Amino acid sequence: MKITIDGPAASGKSTLGAALAKQLGYLYFDTGVMYRAVTLAVFQHKIDIHDEAAVTALAQSIRIEVTPPHTLDGRQYTVWLDGQDVTWNLRGPEIDANVSIPSAYATVRHAMVAQQRRIAERGNVVMVGRDIGTVVLPDADIKIYLDASVEERAQRRHSELLAREQPSDYAEVLAKMQQRDLLDSSRAASPLRPAPDAIIIDSTNKPVGIVLAELEHIIADRRLDKAALKRVTP
């Protein structure tokens, strides 16, 4: 099956997507890394991130691959940018602060959607992002929209930064997340929203294990439905 998990920043998409993919033996694919890779490429090539035409030309010229981890250093996948492993380069504060800019460009998103679909066609996948069920894989077998209050999401991101021994102020993280939500939901190209047939799950105050169990039940039910449909189809 192709499974999509969409939702705002720090809603738990990555944690749940990785756990679910591991359990199913699927490829875990967080599509946000593609926009982070574009942002990294922008800085590497010293391009003005506000120059949409230049950023688009760059996005169309680079090749991004997402594969299972090729080394055991705690990563959930390996991200390749033009053949270079950039997995750990994509989580720095400079990338965090700027990734929403190129991801809001319709032409950049179009270029990335083509690459995302190319990777998804390889086989069973849990694809995580903000427009996967609505734009990238509208024919996915199961579409999940994972949400949580902005206050809880900010606290999660704040705790994550502290755990990585990076300086963080909760009020600043909250303000940036509110701004990120506004950008993601109001952009002209592929705004953040649930697909019409998505199953919406609120993860506020829910441990990861509880939400994962909900996903497992959804998948089991869908498999039963598909099996029943095969039995009655002439």
Instruction: Indicate if 85 and 36 belong to the same structural domain.
Output: yes
Concatenating the DSSP letter of every residue in 94-112 gives HHHHHTHHHHT-HHHHHHH
Looking at 77, 98, 123, which one is the last position of a domain? 123
Containing structural domain, residue 103: 28-123
- Going residue by residue through the chain, which has 234 residues, state the pLDDT in tens, using 9 for 90 and above: 899 999 998 999 989 999 999 999 999 999 989 999 999 999 999 999 999 999 999 999 999 999 988 898 988 899 999 999 999 999 888 998 999 899 889 999 999 999 999 999 887 899 999 889 999 999 999 999 999 999 999 999 999 999 988 899 999 999 999 998 998 888 777 788 999 999 999 999 999 999 999 999 999 998 887 766 566 655
Looking at 71, 103, 123, which one is the last position of a domain? 123
**152-164 CB burial, b ≥16 within 10 A, e <16:** bbbbbbbeebeee
Burial category of 191 from C-beta neighbours within 10 Å (exposed 0-12, middle 13-18, buried 19 and up): middle
Q: Does the predicted model carry a pTM greater than 0.75?
A: yes
Counts of helices then strands in the chain (DSSP H, E): 9, 8
Query: What is the tally of structural domains in the chain?
Result: 2
pLDDT of residue 95: 95
Instruction: Indicate if 175 and 159 belong to the same structural domain.
Output: yes
Looking at 75, 98, 123, which one is the last position of a domain? 123
Query: Hey, what are 111's tokens?
Result: 């270029």
Q: In 3D, which of 130, 93, 133, 123 has the Cα closest to residue 26?
A: 123
Instruction: Indicate if 22 and 34 belong to the same structural domain.
Output: no
Instruction: Indicate if 165 and 56 belong to the same structural domain.
Output: no
Instruction: Indicate if 97 and 169 belong to the same structural domain.
Output: no
Instruction: Indicate if 138 and 88 belong to the same structural domain.
Output: no
Instruction: Indicate if 106 and 181 belong to the same structural domain.
Output: no
Instruction: Indicate if 66 and 148 belong to the same structural domain.
Output: no
